[in-house]
A and B are shown apart, each in its own frame.
Chain A
């Protein structure tokens, strides 16, 4: 069975501070994909990043960066110089690659509030 744990239920930081959202996962698959989605107050789910299990290279996209550590089964997300528009619920998710096992298993989400 697959499982994603986001231990941080809520985080509040002052604007311009850096913040890291933690994600730990469990899977028996040797090949899998990890994702982060953003859910702003409007409610839609916005895709942020996909990482496959063979690629442990960290990625940076503007103020966003992701740290994938296969040895600790973690896929953490850092926002640098946070802005009020970053306020949202962020979900980490995992999916397998086998036929019929393509559903996303989501964590419970971390609600991030950026204080002006």
Chain B
């Protein structure tokens, strides 16, 4: 049963520290999304990639957040420096290429629960 994996599952850090979250998309999926879930804003897109190239990162605070795909099996989301307002659950999702059967569906990982003190 193919799944999106995310590490770490939980992270507690202090304000000002760098945080790196990792995601392994489902094998064969070429589109990767990063979402953030907070009580106030709900679920919102931060960025997404296709074939490792960023297509939309307009939802991401540019000054402290960065997202990359070093290779097809790894996506990273970094926050530097972290702030208490970054506390949230960060979800990675992956999907097939558009046009393929089921390519419209995004499958989510278990999330990284981040707490910045």
B31 interface hit (Cβ, 8 Å): yes
Residue of B31, B35, B105 touching A35 (CB-CB under 8 A): B105
Supplied contacts A35-B105, A44-B108, A45-B111, 12 more A-B pairs, CB within 8 Å: A33-B104, A43-B111, A45-B91, A45-B108, A50-B105, A52-B104, A102-B55, A103-B33, A103-B45, A103-B56, A104-B45, A106-B42
Are A47 and B105 in contact, CB atoms less than 8 angstroms apart? yes
CA distance A47 to B31 in the complex (A): 16
- A109: which B residues are within 8 A, CB to CB? 42
A95 to B43, CA, bound (A): 13
Chain A residues with CB under 8 Å of B111's CB are 43-45
Closest chain A residue, CB of each to CB of B35 = A104
Residues of A within 8 A of B33 (CB): 103-104
Once A103-B48, A104-B43, A106-B42 are accepted as A-B contacts, the answer to whether A95 and B91 lie under 8 Å apart by CB is no
Top 10 nearest A-B pairs (CB, nearest first) are A45-B108, A103-B45, A106-B43, A44-B110, A33-B104, A50-B105, A108-B42, A100-B55, A43-B111, A100-B56
Q: How large is the interface on B (under 10, 10 to 19, 20 to 34, 35 or more residues)?
A: 20 to 34
- Asked if B84 is at the interface (CB within 8 A of a chain A CB), the reply is no
Chain A residues whose CB sits within 8 angstroms of the CB of B93 once the complex forms = 45, 104
Q: Do most interface residues of chain A lie in helix, strand or loop, or is the interface mixed?
A: loop
Q: Mark A32-65, 1 if CB is under 8 A from B, else 0.
A: 0101010000111111001010000000000000
Q: Is A97 an interface residue (CB 8 A)?
A: yes
Q: Which of B31, B35, B102, B107 contacts A102 (CB 8 A)?
A: B31
B114 in contact (CB, < 8 A): no
- B79 within 8 Å of A by Cβ? no
Given contacts A45-B91, A47-B108, contact A102 B42 (CB under 8 A): no
Which residues of chain A are near B56, meaning CB under 8 Å? 100, 103
1/0 per residue A58-92: CB within 8 Å of B?
00000000000000000000000000000000010
Residues 80-95 of chain B, each 1 if its beta carbon lies under 8 Å from chain A, else 0: 0000000001010100
Q: Mark B40-76, 1 if CB is under 8 A from A, else 0.
A: 0011110010000001100100000000000000000
Please name 11 pairs of A and B residues whose Cβ atoms are closer than 8 Å in the assembled complex, sorted by A.
A44-B110, A45-B91, A45-B108, A47-B105, A47-B107, A47-B108, A50-B104, A104-B43, A106-B42, A106-B43, A107-B42
